[in-house]
Amino acid sequence: MVELRHIVWSIMFTLAFLGVILADSKVKASIILRVTAYLTPLTLIIVYILGLTKPVDWIQIPFILLGVLASIAISVHSENYHRVLIGFLRPIQLPLDSVLVLIIAFFMARNLIELAILWIFVELICLFLISFSGTIEARRAAFTFLVVCAATGDISLFTWIALTALQIGIDRALLNDFTLLATSGITANTPLLTFLLIIGFLTKMAMVPLHFWLPDAYTEAPSPVSAMLSGLASKMGLYGLLRVYSTVKLDVSTLMYIAVLMGFITAVYGSIMASGQVDVKRVLAYSSISHYGVMVILFGLIPIQSTAMSVLLAYAIFHGIAKTCLFLNSGSIEIIASTRNIYSLGYLARVDSKLFRYALLSALSLIGIPPTLGFVVKALAFYTVISSIAQGHILSFIALVGLTVSSVFSLLYSMKYIGAYIGSYRVRPIQPLPIPLNAMRLSESLLALSLLVFPVAAITLISTLTIPLLVVYTTSITVFSMFILRSKVKVVREEELWFGGLRS
């Protein structure tokens, strides 16, 4: 039976495909078509809010919203990025927009057969995109992604399908809506089955010791692809965990110990490693590992803390927006300076003050500075973890330590990234290159400003914190707005320019 989501899928695929076909000939029409394509899934959310029907559920809504916002930014940003680097778009734009559409469709899936098919297609296209540059390093990163991430993820996915089929039949397992599966009494109450069901999705989120595919994949891929991998593809692993948890009765003790302990190790390891990198993309890659660890910690606390689920969903949105913006920003750095080495930079705020502001806002959100979304989400996360300590479970204390260490080191690696813009003072005057970056600035501004708007919704997640967070947010947004309006970074002119960067 054709349902509303299938109609939305068809429209989204068609518009995105037409937009890609026109990418090299009719640029404005191409952008309009692609943006319209990514806005169509909002129809499902509007229908849900109006109560006309329920084409999606409350778990899907945050992921769809993130998918819409990030996909628009990535697709538009790629317009400038690849046009400057390779001169034309279609060879990279077609697979990139295809995978963006498929990821959104994945978040809209309502049964296992749809979810499995979309999961596999996304993996295959990601494999191609990671290796797109054709270098030995890129191909090695793609191969590691295939062997470690994709293969392990398939183990959990097909274990889930097989277990469900054995207990309720193959037809019902593949075609029943997730809400029906949740009431079907599917059980996996042994440690081994629980481990097999979640380990693949944990690998998708780069949990230590199965994390080593991620740094090279994120670094070697083109920056818009890195933004897609960090902002959206990684969230497929989290979405899979939440779907398994909601449809299968797992061994709770095994689930909690695996999630919290792996999350703790990953959060600490990723944050420490991020602080020691010199490549801006590797800083972002390892910091992503750290944030995935925090998300898995929150996932592990869901059985004993009622607010953990909603805070986890908010954290996923926060991380997705901030990291998409910063990975796109790293692409802008590549275009302007032809290097990603932080110690070779340090002057970019004087080259492009707008890109600096977008990067700064995203970095402040990663640190958790008000009035950004990161501040609200981290406050909610600490409240959730501290509240769980009342349960007297040792894992709650471990979770608190992991969250604290991750937050402390986020200050170090975020400021290190910002060091690419303000880390040194160049005596010689500088000037931005004569390269059109309007689409790149527009994409990053959309994401950066979202980090100031979304806190309004996140503040209401925990009622006891609503008023204090609202006061802090209102005060800080006022101060922040005044600061932005008054501050200007002066760009000085230089006579001689080189296309690949700024002449020393």
Q: Tell me, what's the pLDDT at 397?
A: 95
**Model confidence at 210: pLDDT above 50:** yes
| Position 162 in a domain | yes
Could you give the number of structural domains in the chain?
1
> Beta 187-188 vs 249-250: how paired, if at all?
parallel
| Percentage with pLDDT > 90 across the chain | 72
Span 372-407, pLDDT tens digits = 999 999 999 999 999 999 877 899 999 999 999 999
What integer is the mean pLDDT of 482-500? 55
Q: What is the distance between the alpha carbons of residues 15 and 98, in angstroms, rounded to a whole number?
A: 11
pLDDT surpasses 80 at 242: yes
CA distance 6 to 328: 31
Q: Domain range for residue 269?
A: 4-486
Does residue 49 lie in a domain region?
yes
Q: What is the pLDDT of residues 272-284, one digit of tens each?
A: 999 999 999 999 9
Q: What is the pLDDT of residue 436?
A: 61
Q: Residue 427 pLDDT more than 60?
A: no
Give the integer Cα–Cα distance in Å for 480 and 117: 45
Would you list the DSSP string of 288-329?
HHHHHHHHHHHHHTTTT-TTHHHHHHHHHHHHHHHHHHHHHH
* Residue 494 within any structural domain of the chain: no
Say whether pLDDT at 136 is over 70.
yes
| Whether the predicted pLDDT of 137 surpasses 70 | yes
Quick: pLDDT tens for 5-35: 999 999 999 999 999 998 878 888 999 999 9
Lowest-pLDDT choice from 239-253, 325-339, 421-435, 465-479? 421-435
CA distance 120 to 106: 10
Q: Are 99 and 228 in contact (CB under 8 A)?
A: yes
Confidence band of 336 (pLDDT split at 50, 70, 90): confident
DSSP characters over 134-196: --HHHHHHHHHIIIIIIHHHHHHHHHHHHHHHHHH-HHHHHHS-HHHHHTTT-EE-SHHHHHH
On whether residue 290 sits in a domain, the answer given is yes
pLDDT at 425: 55
- The upper half-sphere exposure of residue 400, i.e. CA atoms within 13 Å in the direction of its Cβ, equals 14
Question: What is 211-270 written as a DSSP string?
Answer: -THHHHHHHHS-HHHHHHIIIIIHHHHHHHHHHHHHHSEE-HHHHHHHHHHHHHHHHHHH
* Domain contains 499: no
Provide the CA 172 distance to its chain's centre, in angstroms. 32
pLDDT exceeds 70 at position 491:
no
Mean pLDDT of 30-44: 95
Q: Which residue type does 258 have? A: I
497 part of a folded domain? no
**CA dist., res. 201 & res. 188, Å (int):** 16
Rounded to whole angstroms, how far apart are CA atoms 341 and 47? 47
Q: How confident is the model at residue 246, as a pLDDT? A: 94
pLDDT of residue 495: 45
Structure tokens belonging to residue 274:
């991020």
Interacting residues of 87 by C-beta distance below 8 A, sequence separation 6+ = none
The pair of three-digit structure tokens given for residue 452, joined into one six-digit string = 């100031």
The pLDDT mean for the chain works out to 89
Q: Give a yes or no: residue 76 inside a domain.
A: yes
Query: Does the predicted model carry a pTM greater than 0.85?
Result: yes
The answer to whether the beta carbons of residues 352 and 360 sit under 8 Å apart is no
Q: Which two tokens stand for residue 216?
A: 């090279």
Instruction: Look at residue 254 and tell me if it is in a domain.
Output: yes
pLDDT value of position 504: 45
Binned at pLDDT 50, 70 and 90, residue 84 comes out as: confident
In angstroms, the CA 162 to CA 169 distance is: 9
